[in-house]
Structure 1
Amino acid sequence: MKNWITATLFIFVLSAYNLPHHLSSPTYQNKKLVYKDATYEPEIRTVQLYPYTGNANAVLSPSVATLNNNNLLLEFDDLVQAPENYRVKIIHCNSDWTPSRLRSLDYLYDYNEFNIDNYQLSVDTKLSYVHYKFKIPSLKVPGNYLLVAYRGTDESDIILSKRFMLFNSLVSINLLSDLTGLSSNNRLNQQLDFTIDYNDYPLQNPMENVSIVIRQNQRWDNAITTLRPNFIRENINQLEYRFFNYENNFKGGNEFRFFDMRSLRYPGQNVQRANINTRPTLIDLMIDKPRIYQPYTQYDDLNGEYFIANSDTGNGSVQSDYVTVRFHLKASKVNGEVYVIGEMNNWNLQDRMNYDEVSGLYNGEMILKQGYYDYQYYIKGDTLRSNYFEGDHFQTENEYEIFVYYKPPTSRSELLIGYGYYEMNPSR
């Protein structure tokens, strides 16, 4: 139970953020674990899991590491004034993110309960928070994993869940396309054709026991998970994945929209104004317009990711403030719901925009930590495709990952035995 100071701040945060009524109590009941990236309390913010290398750009990397070189780091904020006792447990999962049949002792060297002891209090911020860090422990088995953080000793009092992957390079992945986007049957799409060579790791019944997952821009909401090899060459131990009916096609999309609020004193690109006299600070972004009929323009984006930074004081982790960011889209009203999505909200359809008939604007807002963000607009409806406001181009620079899972006949779980990372149409 949070103390009275925490509860008072929480009530202020709720009113300032206009959070849903069902979250208006600091006591949460009936939290149900979902096997995906999620937070279970509105105070838990800016959850990032990435390979820690000391490089500032590492935070943009996928939460993937080799089994023998696991350097993954979890960071998150709790919008309260005092630290709490948080713990972590780790669950091994199959390729479809259902829990495997492995016991904790099968994949962990320690008891499945880890304290989060590394934390710092925010400094000189309008909204107080505690910044936590936790290094993923060493694990025995490659595969998908779900990290679950919870309060105290009550494993049902969940605060967040986050996915990560550990792999062994037991098979090799070889691309059959040139990463220019021109191998697609549809000039609005992109696809990866590839082979898997398993000379050094025999696969039994690969048609049934091998699973492939392809992910675009670290997203799980549009991942391809149903591919089976269209050719098996047993004489050379090779599986071929080459398709002609769009089975492995992704929409090319467009380069992501972005805004720079690393400085609140001197607003950056695509920030219209910053009102530092409000609590929290209020940021209005430039008015966006649909890009459906605009020609493709190449520029470096973050492929939907974000990073935390503060050019006003220099310390992004504990001196970056939380601000209200308001989005504005000038467009005719569409038959459907419009959302802002990106890694900042786990690509979830939760930040819905409201249409103002007088101004002809879709307006929405989010509470975000000071930094640099990518985003796009998403339509949920029956008549328009989801990225209608953004457009599709085969030239778009996107990142792709190929995951190769295998379930040995005697195993109780699927193992991640191969991984590949690629950039389509790389601009640098």
Structure 2
Amino acid sequence: MFSEKGLKANCFMWSIFFRILLQKYGFCLQRHVVWQQFGLFSVIFEHMKIKILFFFLYSAIAFGQDIRSIQLFNPQTNDETPVIGFSEVLILRFDDLSNSSAVYRYTIRHMDRYWKDDGLFFTEIATGSLNGQIDQMQYSFNTLQPYTHYTLTFPNDKMRPKISGNFELIVYKDSQSNPLFTRRFSMMEDGAIVGVNLNRTTDARRPEVNQRVEVQALGNSSALMQNTNSVSLTVVQNNNWNVAVYDKRPSSTLGNKLLFQQMDLSFPGNNEFYYFDNKNLSYAFDMVAGAETVENVNYTYLHPVWAFPLNYQYQPDVSGAYYFRRNDLGIERDADREADYSWVHFALDSERTEQDIHVLGGFNDFVATPENKMVYDENLKKYIAKIYLKQGFYNYILATKNTDGSLNFGKVNGNFWQTENLYQAYLYYKPFGRNYDGLLGYGEFRTPVR
């Protein structure tokens, strides 16, 4: 009915039309696509109309999800953990794939130790304006996917938290009640030195639990030791708030130390993260089986991974983090505006399971969504997923979703006590007369289990 040339000339109009199609039928269409070419995953279409249809389906996804590649990190340590003192700053970065010069704004709100809104007024938590504008932006250069890159340095002169604790950074366009995205961060007092240690453990009632955390907090004032009931500890694994133990009270004291040595301060070790590196989109690189560019769209095909049971195998990782990079023939480019986007194809060799499987990591904040849900291909006997990602180095893990909506990070990958994990201890303090949970200290532990 339409020529391929004519369709391409009306790309934007058709992308809107097929966006609607995708929302209604896209999931069903994906289930009938057969991927297999030279042992790699690639889409094979025998009819030109089908090829054009899926070209625009891909475009629709890109246009329909404009905000991508969100990062909030500490530039002083180049750390993916957004915890800072009052003299430090965080950097927020994200891309707008609409390639516009839209005005985005931000605000903050204070949260309690459970990451629930504690209802404090803005004037109680910060100085400056209630809303700020993200005014640092630059357009992409030399990329197939055009985008606008936004940067915010925070806190700043326009808005600065004045109390410690947990915060939510809210980014929006028209109304903060309709945010584009939110990110967690914490402001830390210099009230305690927090040390973390890790041991192997066994629990017959919970065989998946095999790593036990111990925490010592050295307070800077005698008032802390006199108000131990006002102190609570939260421990998180790998910046993944799905795997956390909340609100532990000191089990004992030793001089001016608070000790947290509870047996239930324990975690599943899970397994080392999978990873891939597609900093060069022209060649197969680390854990990349193949790469191609078709009709000005990049595709990255990863080697399939295998499900547990497997023996533990040590593999260094970055605890679920991700770093954008572009390297062309040994030349390192400015990843902020020169890193391109690619459809990354994930694959898991496995029999079908009743539970949903999701591709998760720091890059999507460990949040399970329809976009990162894997679909089973009966012909290939594999779970497959494709996600539109900015090129770089990524850690990821495969998680199953339980009937109650919680996530299991060990069923596919396995649980091993030897696994290296990042454990992060948040020490909160809410003495009598204070109406919020302040963050007294923070500590972390990255080394192997002894």
Tell whether the structures are fold-level matches, with TM greater than 0.5: yes
Q: Does 1:420 align with 2:443?
A: yes
Say which SS state the counterpart of residue 296 (structure 1) adopts: coil
Higher share in strand: 2
What are the superposed Cα offsets for residues 105-146 of structure 1, whole Å, 9 maximum, x if unpaired? 223221111110000111122221110000112321111111
Q: For residues 10 and 75 of structure 1, do their structure 2 counterparts lie closer, same or farther at Cα, with a shift above 3 Å needed?
A: farther
The CA deviation at 1:294 is 2.2
CA distance in 1, matches of 2:112, 2:13: 37
Q: For residues 147 and 232 of structure 1, do their structure 2 counterparts lie closer, same or farther at Cα, with a shift above 3 Å needed?
A: same
Q: 2:338 aligns with which of 307, 315, 319?
A: 319
The CA deviation at 1:155 is 2.5
Structure 1 residue aligned with 2:269: 252
CA distance in 2, matches of 1:72, 1:19: 37
The CA deviation at 1:15 is 4.7
Say which SS state the counterpart of residue 158 (structure 1) adopts: coil
Say which SS state the counterpart of residue 337 (structure 2) adopts: helix
Q: Does 1:88 align with 2:111?
A: no
What are the superposed Cα offsets for residues 20-73 of structure 1, whole Å, 9 maximum, x if unpaired? 4599xxxxxxxxxxxxxxxxx7211111101113x7xx1x43011112x22211
Q: How does 1:134-173 map to 2 (within 5 A)?
A: 134-137=152-155, 138-152=160-174, 154-173=175-194
**Aligned partner letter, 1:346:** D
Does the 8 A contact of 1:400 with 1:424 survive in 2? no
Q: How does 1:55-94 map to 2 (within 5 A)?
A: 58=78, 60-67=79-86, 69-94=87-112
CA distance in 2, matches of 1:352, 1:301: 23
Does the 8 A contact of 1:263 with 1:311 survive in 2? yes
Q: How does 1:179-328 map to 2 (within 5 A)?
A: 179=198, 181-182=199-200, 189-198=210-219, 200-203=221-224, 206=227, 208-232=229-253, 236-244=255-263, 247-290=264-307, 292-312=308-328, 314-328=333-347
Does the 8 A contact of 1:332 with 1:360 survive in 2? yes
Tell which structure's C-alpha radius of gyration is larger: 2
Structure 2 residue aligned with 1:34: none
CA distance in 2, matches of 1:318, 1:18: 31
Say which SS state the counterpart of residue 184 (structure 2) adopts: strand
Say which SS state the counterpart of residue 335 (structure 1) adopts: coil
Q: For residues 165 and 285 of structure 1, do their structure 2 counterparts lie closer, same or farther at Cα, with a shift above 3 Å needed?
A: same
The CA deviation at 1:12 is 3.2
Q: 1:341 aligns with which of 329, 345, 360?
A: 360
RMSD over aligned CA atoms reads 2.9
Structure 1 residue aligned with 2:60: none
The CA deviation at 1:293 is 2.8
Say which SS state the counterpart of residue 410 (structure 1) adopts: coil
Q: 1:49 aligns with which of 69, 72, 92?
A: 72
**Aligned partner letter, 1:144:** N
Q: Unaligned 5+ residue runs, structure 2? A: 1-9, 27-63
What are the superposed Cα offsets for residues 278-303 of structure 1, whole Å, 9 maximum, x if unpaired? 4421111112111x232222222111
CA distance in 2, matches of 1:275, 1:18: 26
Q: Does 1:410 align with 2:446?
A: no
Identity between Structure 1 and Structure 2 (%): 26
CA distance in 1, matches of 2:14, 2:150: 22
Structure 1 residue aligned with 2:4: none
Say which SS state the counterpart of residue 305 (structure 2) adopts: coil
Does the 8 A contact of 1:93 with 1:146 survive in 2? yes
Taking structure 1 as the reference length, the TM-score comes to 0.83
Say which SS state the counterpart of residue 166 (structure 2) adopts: strand
CA distance in 1, matches of 2:230, 2:236: 20
- Range with greater deviation from structure 2 (413-422 or 137-146): 137-146
- Range with greater deviation from structure 2 (201-210 or 366-375): 201-210
Say which SS state the counterpart of residue 94 (structure 2) adopts: strand
Say which SS state the counterpart of residue 424 (structure 1) adopts: coil
Structure 1 residue aligned with 2:373: 352
CA distance in 2, matches of 1:86, 1:281: 28
Taking structure 2 as the reference length, the TM-score comes to 0.79
**Aligned partner letter, 1:119:** M
Does the 8 A contact of 2:233 with 2:427 survive in 1? yes
Q: For residues 231 and 141 of structure 1, do their structure 2 counterparts lie closer, same or farther at Cα, with a shift above 3 Å needed?
A: same
Q: Unaligned 5+ residue runs, structure 1? A: 1-6, 24-40
CA distance in 2, matches of 1:11, 1:309: 32
Say which SS state the counterpart of residue 276 (structure 1) adopts: strand
Say which SS state the counterpart of residue 126 (structure 1) adopts: coil
CA distance in 2, matches of 1:88, 1:318: 22
CA distance in 1, matches of 2:123, 2:191: 23
